[in-house]
Chain A
Amino acid sequence: MVRGGWMMKKFILCLFLLLLTSCQSVDETKVDTYLFYAMDTKISIQFYNVEDSKEICDEIEKIYLKYDSVANDYQSGLGDINVYDLNDIRKIKIGDELKELIQFSLEMKEDTNGYFNPFIGKLTHAWKEALGEGKLLSDDVIKAYLNEALNTTITFDEHMVELIGNGNLDLGGIAKGYATYRAEQYLKEINCEHFLLNAGSSNIVLGSKLGEPFKVGLSQAYGNQYFSILNILNTCVSTSSVKEQHYLVDGQYYSHIINAKTGYPANLYDTFSIIGDHSGKLDAYSTACFCMELKDAKKFLNEKKLKFICSKDNQLYDQTEGLKHA
């Protein structure tokens, strides 16, 4: 009896010590954070226990700078023949990156049934200028630019390309997503698994946080709270949002995203995020879905087996069933 009591005391003492020692938080994770600027965006990368992270970041920066240079439609002379040059000269020899980007944009035009249209360059520029001055475009101007876009095509002869029609090319809706896709491919090639790549919030690629999911906060467009927090890993998220990119004209907010079907700024949602693989496609799809009615967007994404979450009036509006929230 005495021996049993003594054993019990020892057991409880051990349990007590175990509980106390378990309270010590041991965190030896090495987190390396880098950031750089490209495509009018701040791009940040966090690596978790990854060797040579600086070299990896440098390679990723090169990818973004390359696509930044070729996709620019506001300025010439950035070292590569770019979209501005093509819009200006109409027939020109281009490099590999611009060629693949244009071909990808044509694929996305087809894939989204024209909700993403790379030939609405004149319309997007005209809207940006008008909204920046607090004005709206007239119906006639919109119709004219839209017709030009719908009647423009592009031909390829090896690296020689020609814009046929009066529309201008605008790859702004996919360039960052495509560059992010290339960065994602590079990270896969070198077997880098524990990272978080954030290209200006609109395109993010997530590995895992040493096996654990990331908590991704979805921001309100007109507030500073999160309307939802997702628990996800090993995936990409692309978001089209009016946050910080809306204009107030005559008491009404207008988005910077132009509906390629109607020619007007899209106003159905505050934010539309799509979760899946391939940042380039997700970028085009989020732009397209931002312009679709909800039932059409859901049908479109359901066919592609992609998950989504969208907000309106600063609140969760709809989402795919089964999304994991924190």
Chain B
Amino acid sequence: MHKFRNDIILISIVLLVSVVSLILFFTLSQKEDLNVYIYKDQELVYNAPLSEDYDLKIDQVHIVIENQYVYVVRSDCKDQVCVHQGKINRAGQTIACLPNKISIRLEGKQVDVGI
């Protein structure tokens, strides 16, 4: 009887740990970890998590990564499309400055491509 009770306790502990592990695994794997990729021409010049604040200038294009957003603050291009695109924070979103051939892309699990 005593042995049987120990078995029940062992089974319960093992099952509990298993279930908690699975819940943790699936919760963490669903969490959106976004990465910022910045290209100049065809070359990758920056790649880091969106959570890391950063400030960089490529040619005359000023890019800011802060508070889980990335955006172009200033650019010398004529049309200013890159500046007007505003802040992005979702997987698949991009900002492109065509005159300067600079491309910013957010990569994550929720979306492969934004159109």
Does the CB pair B96–A42 fall under 8 Å? yes
Shortest beta-carbon distance, A196 to chain B, in Å?
A: 6
Inter-subunit contact A216/B113 (CB<8 Å): yes
The reply to whether A224 and B111 contact each other, CB–CB distance below 8 Å, is no
Report chain B residues within 8 Å CB of A12.
Answer: 10-11, 14-15
Given A224-B90, A226-B90, A36-B42 contact (CB < 8 Å) = yes
Determine how close the nearest CB of chain A comes to the CB of B101; give it in whole angstroms. Answer: 6
> Which chain A residues in 189-222 approach chain B with CB under 8 Å?
196, 198, 201-202, 204, 209, 214-219
Q: Which of the residues B22, B84, B98, B114 comes within 8 Å of A42, measured between beta carbons?
A: B98
Docked pose: A209 CA to B105 CA in angstroms: 19
Per-residue A-contact encoding for B14-46, CB less than 8 Å = 1, 0 else? 110110011001000100000001010010000
A9-B7, A19-B18, A224-B87 known; A215-B98 Cβ under 8 A: no
Give the chain A neighbours of B81 by CB distance below 8 A.
Answer: 244
Q: Measured between alpha carbons, how far is A203 from B71 in the docked complex, in Å?
A: 24
In this complex, the member of A13, A19, A273 whose beta carbon has the largest number of chain B beta carbons within 10 angstroms is A19
Report chain A residues within 8 Å CB of B18: 15-16, 19-20
Q: A23-B22, A224-B86 are in contact. Are A42 and B113 (CB under 8 A)?
A: no
Scan residues 2-18 of chain B and give those whose CB is less than 8 A from a CB of chain A.
Answer: 3-4, 7, 10-11, 14-15, 17-18
- A202, chain B: closest CB distance, angstroms: 8
B-contact bits for A305-326, CB 8 A (1 contact / 0 none) = 0000000000000000000001
What residues on A are CB-neighbors of B115 within 8 Å? 198, 201-202, 204, 216-219, 237, 239, 273
- B75 near A: Cβ within 8 Å? no
Whether the pair A25, B22 counts as a contact (CB closer than 8 A) is no
Q: Is A40 an interface residue (CB 8 A)?
A: yes
Q: Number of residues in A with C-beta < 8 Å to the partner?
A: 41
| Chain A, interface SS category | strand
A160 at the binding interface (Cβ < 8 Å): no
- Cβ-based interface call for B55 (8 A): no
A contact residues vs B (CB 8 Å cutoff): 5, 8-9, 12-13, 15-16, 19-20, 23, 25, 33-37, 40-42, 44, 196, 198, 201-202, 204, 209, 214-219, 224-226, 229, 237, 239, 244, 273, 326
Q: Mark B66-102, 1 if CB is under 8 A from A, else 0.
A: 0000000000000001001111111111101010010
Chain B contacts for A196, CB-based, 8 A: 112-113
A–B Cβ pairs within 8 angstroms, 9 of them: A8-B7, A15-B14, A19-B18, A214-B112, A216-B114, A219-B93, A224-B88, A224-B90, A326-B111
Determine the interface band of chain B, counting residues with CB < 8 A from chain A: 35 or more
B3 neighbours in A (Cβ, 8 Å): 5
The verdict on A19 contacting B84 (CB below 8 Å), with A217-B114, A229-B110 known, is no
Contacts of A198 in B (CB 8 A): 113, 115
Which residues of chain B are near A16, meaning CB under 8 Å?
A: 14, 17-18
User: Is A215 within 8 A of B111, CB to CB?
Assistant: yes
Q: How far is the CA of A152 from the CA of B90 in the complex (A)?
A: 46
B84 touches A244 (CB 8 A): yes
CB pair A35–B103 under 8 Å, yes or no, is yes
**Closest Cβ–Cβ distance, residue B17 to chain A (whole Å):** 7
Cα separation A144 to B22 with both chains bound (whole Å): 69
Q: Cβ of A36: which chain B residues have Cβ within 8 Å of it?
A: 42
> Are B42 and A35 in contact, with the CB atoms below 8 A?
yes
Contact A13 B114 (CB under 8 A): no
A contact residues around B15 at 8 Å (CB) = 12
B111: min CB distance to chain A, Å: 4
Q: Which single member of B4, B92, B103, B105 contacts A217 (CB below 8 Å)?
A: B92
Taking CB as reference atom, which chain B residue is nearest A271?
B115
Which B residues are in CB contact (< 8 Å) with A8? Answer: 7, 11
Contact of A19 with B21 at beta-carbon distance under 8 Å, contacts A12-B14, A13-B14 already known: yes
Contacts of A202 in B (CB 8 A): 115
Q: Which residue of A lies closest to B43 (CB)?
A: A35
Contact in complex: B113, A217 (CB < 8 Å)? yes
